[in-house]
């Protein structure tokens, strides 16, 4: 190869690298952004690790997938109830004020739960402790709130920032899933201890970065000389004006678009949780349980690549088209697990469809920017997560029963039914979701 050809190839790789990473690097070079972004990801480790740790540990000590599924379902229901409440409290009073006591509750609950599982206490005690495992601050929503506040009005960079957040999330799942399965097989105590350390380290990084913390509704209302209720009312009026709906000036963030999105996220959570517990059962039947976490990691790795490419491109295709395309790829692809005869087949399918997983969530985050004003963004994101958690609990509970009766094949039957139903539900809300993308974003709402 001549020097000219080498220079051409080098320049080509440099251009590709710049297109993929240039926008992300620019964001992370902004003062203090890297610290809160990475801190949020580390603090989120309970999400990929706790569910799998509970499933593996409970099945090991109690020998029941039904009990494991029921416990993870209870935790998901508790997350669904706690998420919107914590999100609303964060918007009202501030990120630090809500997160610190919430973390303390989680640490105590995690210590109690792992002690009780290893001691094989009566099952009812586990059901009493598990709800407190939902005391997890909405780190992802709080991180995205900081980005949308810093980049207010810059839609392209906001899209890149949301993609960056999803990339970090997928890194968390890539690391968390195999780590959880490995540590939980060795010891549930070890797995929960590692998760607790991550929570404390991540929280210190995130909450210690105060210069990027967005003002709470209480602070904004005080600065404007208003009560919080008056401030929220004025924000609702401005949001309605931007959306061209003068009649809808109530303080409630609920409208047809948000309802459609949350119902879609409910069904998404249902079939994805069903998929997880079914794969764990399938791997155990084939005596390859040690590889379960790596299969999930493949999905997360593929999703990470999807997020990386998706955020690097400036899209001209309508948001609603991108949303439905990515959702259809994930749902239809996971439905084919019913016909898989080996764990590696599932891994390959996961690798193929995973590239659309993170973009689906990114599109959902972008839809939220059209649906709620920025002072309610954390609350709106929490509601979306809550509906996903409720769906997850329903999927886990139903699938656990089918697996105990019919094995992993019964679980994958449930997965297929839920995935296709999820896609149908999403298209029922087509009119509302499409309409929401045709209105301006609400990031400019301010007094």
Is 218 among the domain residues?
A: no
Would the pLDDT of 105 be above 90?
A: yes
Contact 408, 288 (CB under 8 A): no
Contact 269, 389 (CB under 8 A): yes
Of 147-156, 198-207, 331-340, the least confident: 147-156
Is 222 among the domain residues?
A: no
Is 335 among the domain residues?
A: yes
Average pLDDT, integer, range 88-112 = 89
pTM listed for this prediction: 0.68
Question: What backbone phi and psi angles, to 5 degrees, belong to 442?
Answer: -100, 15
Contact 38, 369 (CB under 8 A): no
Is 7 among the domain residues?
A: no
For 163-208, the pLDDT digits (tens) are 777 778 767 766 766 676 667 666 667 777 888 888 899 999 999 8
Is 238 among the domain residues?
A: no
Is 237 among the domain residues?
A: no
Q: Give the count of beta carbons closer than 10 Å to the beta carbon of residue 289.
A: 18
Structure confidence at residue 102 as a pLDDT band (50, 70, 90): very high
Structure confidence at residue 108 as a pLDDT band (50, 70, 90): very high
**Cα dihedral: 315, 317, 322, 323 (round 10):** 100
For 41-57, the pLDDT digits (tens) are 888 877 767 777 787 77
Q: Tell me what pLDDT residue 103 has.
A: 92
Provide the domain limits for residue 38: 33-212+253-437
Nearest CA-CA partner of 70 in 334, 394, 319, 421 = 394
Structure confidence at residue 240 as a pLDDT band (50, 70, 90): low
Is 282 among the domain residues?
A: yes
Q: How many domains does the chain have?
A: 1
Is 21 among the domain residues?
A: no
Q: Which residues lie below 8 Å from residue 114, measured CB to CB, with a gap of 6+?
A: 57, 188, 189, 192
For 373-420, the pLDDT digits (tens) are 767 777 777 788 778 777 777 787 788 788 888 888 888 888 888 888
What CATH number is given to the structural domain containing 83? 1.20.1250.20
Structure confidence at residue 1 as a pLDDT band (50, 70, 90): low
């Amino acid at each position: 190869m001549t020097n000219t050809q080498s220079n051409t190839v080098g320049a080509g790789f440099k251009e590709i690298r710049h297109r993929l990473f240039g926008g992300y690097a620019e964001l992370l070079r902004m003062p203090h952004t890297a610290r809160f972004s990475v801190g949020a990801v580390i603090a989120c480790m309970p999400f990929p690790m706790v569910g799998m740790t509970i499933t593996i540990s409970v099945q090991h000590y109690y020998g029941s997938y039904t009990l494991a599924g029921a416990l993870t379902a209870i935790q998901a229901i508790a997350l669904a109830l706690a998420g919107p409440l914590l999100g609303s409290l964060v918007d009202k009073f501030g990120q630090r004020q809500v997160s610190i006591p919430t973390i303390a509750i989680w640490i105590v609950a995690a210590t109690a739960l792992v002690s009780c599982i290893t001691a094989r206490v009566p099952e009812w005690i586990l059901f009493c402790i598990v709800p407190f495992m939902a005391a997890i601050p909405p780190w992802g929503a709080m991180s995205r709130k900081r980005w949308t506040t810093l980049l207010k009005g810059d839609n392209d960079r906001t899209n890149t920032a949301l993609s960056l957040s999803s990339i970090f999330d997928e890194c968390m799942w890539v690391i968390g899933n195999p780590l959880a399965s490995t540590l939980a097989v060795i010891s549930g105590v070890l797995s929960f201890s590692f998760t607790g350390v991550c929570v404390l380290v991540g929280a210190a990084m995130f909450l210690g970065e105060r210069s990027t913390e967005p003002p709470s509704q209480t602070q904004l209302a005080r600065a404007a000389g208003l009560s919080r209720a008056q401030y929220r009312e004025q924000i609702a009026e401005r949001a309605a004006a931007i959306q061209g709906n003068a009649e809808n000036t109530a303080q409630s963030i609920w409208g047809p678009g948000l309802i459609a999105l949350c119902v879609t996220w409910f069904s998404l959570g249902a079939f994805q949780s069903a998929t997880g517990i079914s794969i764990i059962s399938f791997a155990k039947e084939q005596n390859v349980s040690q590889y379960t976490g790596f299969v999930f990691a493949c999905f997360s790795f593929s999703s990470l690549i999807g997020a990386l490419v998706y955020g690097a491109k400036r899209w001209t295709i309508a948001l609603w088209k991108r949303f439905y395309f990515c959702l259809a790829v994930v749902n239809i692809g996971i439905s084919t697990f019913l016909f898989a005869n080996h764990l590696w087949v599932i891994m390959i399918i996961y690798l193929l469809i995973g590239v659309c997983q993170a973009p689906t969530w990114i599109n959902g985050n972008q839809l939220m920017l059209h649906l709620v004003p920025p002072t309610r963004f954390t609350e709106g994101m929490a509601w979306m997560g809550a509906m996903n958690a409720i769906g997850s609990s329903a999927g886990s509970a139903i699938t656990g029963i089918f697996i105990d009766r019919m094995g992993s094949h019964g679980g994958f039957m449930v997965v297929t039914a839920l995935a296709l139903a999820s896609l149908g539900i999403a298209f029922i809300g087509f009119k509302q979701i499409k309409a929401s993308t045709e209105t301006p974003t609400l990031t400019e709402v301010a007094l």
